[in-house]
Every structure is written in structure tokens, then in C-alpha cells.
Structure 1
Amino acid sequence: MAYVRKNVSRLTRTERRRFIEAMLMVKRRGEYDEFVRLHIAHFVGDGDRGLRAAHMTPSFLPWHRMFLLDLEEALRRFDDSVTVPYWDWTRDRGTNSTPWTDDLLGGNGRPGDRRVMTGPFARGTGNWTIRASVTAGDFLTRDLGRSRSPIGLPTKDDLKQALDDPVYDVEPWNSTVSRGFRNKLEGWGRGPESWRNHNRVHRWVGGAMLGGASVNDPVFWLHHAFVDMQWTRWQQRHRNHRYLPDRPPGRGTVQYRRIVARHERLPPWDVTPDDLEDVSRIYRYA
């Protein structure tokens, strides 16, 4: 029977507590830092060599869907009532609103070093030491809203522009495309078209959420659950359209062996994007 992922703002007090306890247990066991290392290893950009599976690529959505499922499995081994909630950043938009409360993710970072001082993931609790990162510092940092150069979170209209595009992705299958649902949701671009939706949220949270080690901030999972929800919504809206490309780019093309086609293996797992398009038997969104 499919389990349910809920809006974090609608969790009961008990559900909040159990989610936090499960997250801390995964961290205590050392599993959480492996998730961080995995994401860092797969944070490959357009200008880097090799296969792009997680970012700036059509498989951005199935890769993070599988990543979420692995984290959820780890949480549910500790408490099978727990699922990953989603943060609807089109509704909960303030620096003091959900999920930035002391009983959930804690608040903003302090001025200066942006160290998070409140909530269960503050360094001072002794439960959330940063061990895997690309920068120095062993404490969680945030800069909600970007204090020196303020920005806002994406709006419902921003999300609608992505959801309205009936094509999943287009050539050249990277961060430069201006058409296609995938990149409009992922949020790469140039000039006024840059830092949309998914990417803009990472920049709005700031601190640890910038770059490949963004998994160190637990909000990563709530953010990506909401992004994953948008893929489900897009599928429901455009039932005759599927993941693209359906075949790998040919030898001699720019993206040869650089992206994952629908029926190709999605590293580091033994699954394909095609396997992950329908997860209705595993979970659903409330």
C-alpha cells in the first residue's frame, strides 16, 4: 500500500517529532553523511567531463526521486510511520514560518558566520556536526532571503510556467535550454531567466544549501520532495508526454555518453528513468 508524503505545515506535533528523531538517528548511524558524499560526487556540471546524472541534465528529476527514496527507506527502517514531508515554498514564504521553527528545522543563521543556533540541527545540540562538505566549518549555516542582496522565493506563477510546458526536455539536454519542463523547473538560464524555481530556493536558503554539499541542510529533502511533487503534477497534466530523450545521443554528438536516456541505467543505482516515472505504488502526495 502506498504511503503518503504530507505538507510539512500540516504535520501534527507527533509527526514532526518522529520525523526529526528519525533524521537524527540516520545521522547518528553515519548514513546521513554518505548521502552528502553521494550528492557531492554526482554534482557534475555542463563544463565538467563525464556523465551528468544529477544536475543540468534530463535525469535531474529521476535521480533526485531515487535519492529521496533511499533517504526515506533509511528513515523508515528506524520508524515506519515516517515519510519525507514537502515544503511548499509558494505558500510558506517567510523566514519565521514553517519549516523554520524550533521544533522542525530551526531558524536562520546568525549574522557574521551564518551559523544556525536554534532547532535540532544546530551545532550546539551535538547532534548535527557537518563531516562531509566542500567548505570548511562543521556547523550548519543559512542565510534565509540572502541578507546582503535580498531575493524572494519562486511564486506560483514561476512554477506554472514550468508546468505549462508539455515537453519534458529538449536538446542539447543541459543547463542552456530555454524550453522544456525539466530545466524550467530545475532553474538554469542566463540573465533574467537564471535562478528559477528549484535553483532559486537553494539560493534563497543560502549557507549550506549552496553547492554540492547542500544535503547537509535537512531542508534539502523537503525542498526536493516538493520538486518531485511537481513532476507528478506535470505527468498528470501532460499524460501523452514522457521523459526525454527516449534514446541516447549518437556517437560524435556533444552529449554522447554525457546524459541518461529513458532506458539507460541511472548511476549509482540499477534503475532507469523509465522505472521511476510511475511511483504510485510506493507513495503519493497529500
Structure 2
Amino acid sequence: MVYVRKNVSRLTAGERRRFVGALLEVKRRGEYDEFVRLHIRHFRGDGERGLRAAHMTPSFLPWHRMLVLELENALRRVDDSVTVPYWDWTRNRSATSVPWTDDLLGGNGRRGDRQVMTGPFAYRNGRWPIRAGVTDDRFLTRDLGRARNPINLPTKADLDRALKDPVYDVSPWDSTVTKGFRNKMEGWGPDTNPWLNHNRVHRWVGGAMLGGGSVNDPVFWLVHAFVDLQWQRWQQRHRNHRYLPARPPGGSRGQDGRIVARHERLPPWDLTPDDLEDVSEIYRYA
């Protein structure tokens, strides 16, 4: 049966409670930290050797689609009424709006160490210790809006610029490309505007959301559910265009063996980007 992912602002009080409860239980079981470790292992950029499956690469979208699905499956093993909601950052744009409420994700970090002190994921409540990360922090941190050097969240116009591009991705298939939906959505920009869309949201949240350990903040899943929704919208708008590259690019511009083509295995799963282009029989967005 196809299930529904909802806008987090439209969750009922009961749905909020069950979503938070399932997250805390997955954390208690030790499963959650494995998702953090998985993301850290695959956090590889242009300047590093080897395959790029998760970031700065065409497979950014299917890789994170599968990661969210895996987390969602873990949540639904706890409570099969739970799905991952999405955060529409073009509408809920303040540090006090949804999802930054005490009954959902809690609020901003305090001054100084940026430790989150409110909500169910506050370290002082004892249920969300950071056990896997890229820093020594044992507690969840945030810096919503970047107090010392403020930035704004992406706008609907920013999303529209990505959605209008009919091509999925282009050579050299990395963070430097200026054309193609994938990088306009992932958000690697020029030096004058280095963070767009998805990347800018990570920067706006700050704290744990910076770098490979970003999964430690539960907002990660809401962000990537919204990114996934944009991919669906792009697919609906450009029905004759698909994931690229369709075939491995060979030695073209140093990308041989460094990216995943449409029919190649997407590590660490035994699936391909082609397998993950259509999820209409698994879930839909409301």
C-alpha cells in the first residue's frame, strides 16, 4: 500500500508525537547511529579519490532518496503509521516556526557552545547523545540563521530556477557544473554565491548540520524529504528527461570510476539510479 509523506506543518499533534517517538526508539536501538556512520563514510568530494556516490555527483538525489527510505523503514518497524515529513523552507522560514517547536525538533542552540536545550532531542533529556560524528560534541548543536554572519533560507524563486532546467546533469558531473537540475538543487555555486538550495539550508541550520555528521540532526530527514519532493516535481515537469549520465563517461575529464551511471550499482545498496527513479508504488507526497 502506498503511504503518504506530509508537510511537517500539517502534522496533527498525534502524528508529531508518533514521529518523534519512533525517532527516539530507533536511536535507543542503536540503528540511528548507523545511518550517521553510513553518511560519513560516503561524504566524499571532488578533490578526493575514488567513487563519489552521495555528494557532488549525479547520484546525489537517488542516494539520499534511498537513505531516507531506509530510515523511514526503520521508523515504520517501530510504528507503521509513521512516515518522514518534509520541511518546506520556502514557507516556514523563521527560527521559531515549524519544525523548531518543543513538540517536534526543539529550537536553536544556546549562545557559546550552540547546544540545543529544548525539545525531545536536547542532550540534557538523555535520549539523544551524539555517538558518531566528525567533531567531539556529545550533544546536538544548531546555529539557526548563523548569528554572527546571517544568511537567509532559499526562496521559492531559488527552487524554480532549478526546476526549470530540463537537463538532469552535465559533464564533468561534479560540484563545478552550472547547468543541470542536480547541482542547482544540491547547491554548489560559484565563489560569489557558494551555497544554493539544499546546501544553503544545511548552512542556515548550522551546528551538526555542517559536514558528514549532519544526520545527527533529525532535521536532516525533513530537508531531504523536501529535496526528494523537488526531484519528483522536476520529473513531472520534464517527462522526457531522465537521470544522466546514462552510461559511464569513461576517462572524460577524470570522472572514470568516480560517478554512478544510470544502470550502475549505487553503493552501499544493490540498486541502481534507474531502480530509484520511480517510487510511486512506495510513497507519495501530500
Task: Settle same-fold status: TM greater than 0.5.
Answer: yes
CA distance in 1, matches of 2:281, 2:69: 13
CA distance in 1, matches of 2:166, 2:9: 30
Partner SS, residue 275 of structure 2: helix
Q: Which residue of 2 aligns with 1:125?
A: 125
Cα root mean square deviation, aligned:
0.7
Q: Which residue of 1 aligns with 2:216?
A: 216
Aligned pairs (5 A) from 1:211-250: 211-250=211-250
Where do 5+ consecutive residues of structure 1 fail to align? Answer: none
Q: What amino acid is aligned across from residue 17 of structure 1 in structure 2?
A: R
Q: What amino acid is aligned across from residue 132 of structure 1 in structure 2?
A: A
Deviation at 1:31, TM superposition (A): 0.2
CA distance in 2, matches of 1:96, 1:43: 30
Deviation at 1:67, TM superposition (A): 0.2
Q: Which residue of 1 aligns with 2:66?
A: 66
Q: Which residue of 1 aligns with 2:261?
A: 261
Name the TM-score, length of structure 1 as normaliser. Answer: 0.99
Q: Which residue of 2 aligns with 1:79?
A: 79
1:100-119 per-position Cα deviation (integer Å, ceiling 9, x unaligned): 00000000000000000000
Partner SS, residue 191 of structure 1: coil
Q: What amino acid is aligned across from residue 98 of structure 1 in structure 2?
A: V
1:109-131 per-position Cα deviation (integer Å, ceiling 9, x unaligned): 00000000000000011000000
**Number of aligned residue pairs:** 286
Name the TM-score, length of structure 2 as normaliser. Answer: 0.99
Partner SS, residue 124 of structure 1: helix
In the alignment, is residue 201 of structure 1 matched against residue 207 of structure 2? no
1:31-54 per-position Cα deviation (integer Å, ceiling 9, x unaligned): 000000000000000000100000
Deviation at 1:137, TM superposition (A): 1.3
CA distance in 1, matches of 2:192, 2:219: 26
CA distance in 1, matches of 2:253, 2:75: 42
Partner SS, residue 152 of structure 1: coil
CA distance in 2, matches of 1:224, 1:138: 24
Deviation at 1:192, TM superposition (A): 3.0
Q: Which residue of 2 aligns with 1:38?
A: 38
CA distance in 1, matches of 2:251, 2:223: 36
Percent of aligned positions that are identical: 78
CA distance in 2, matches of 1:251, 1:240: 27
CA distance in 1, matches of 2:21, 2:204: 26
Q: Which residue of 1 aligns with 2:137?
A: 137
1:220-276 per-position Cα deviation (integer Å, ceiling 9, x unaligned): 000000000000000000000000000001146410000000000000000000000
Where do 5+ consecutive residues of structure 2 fail to align? Answer: none
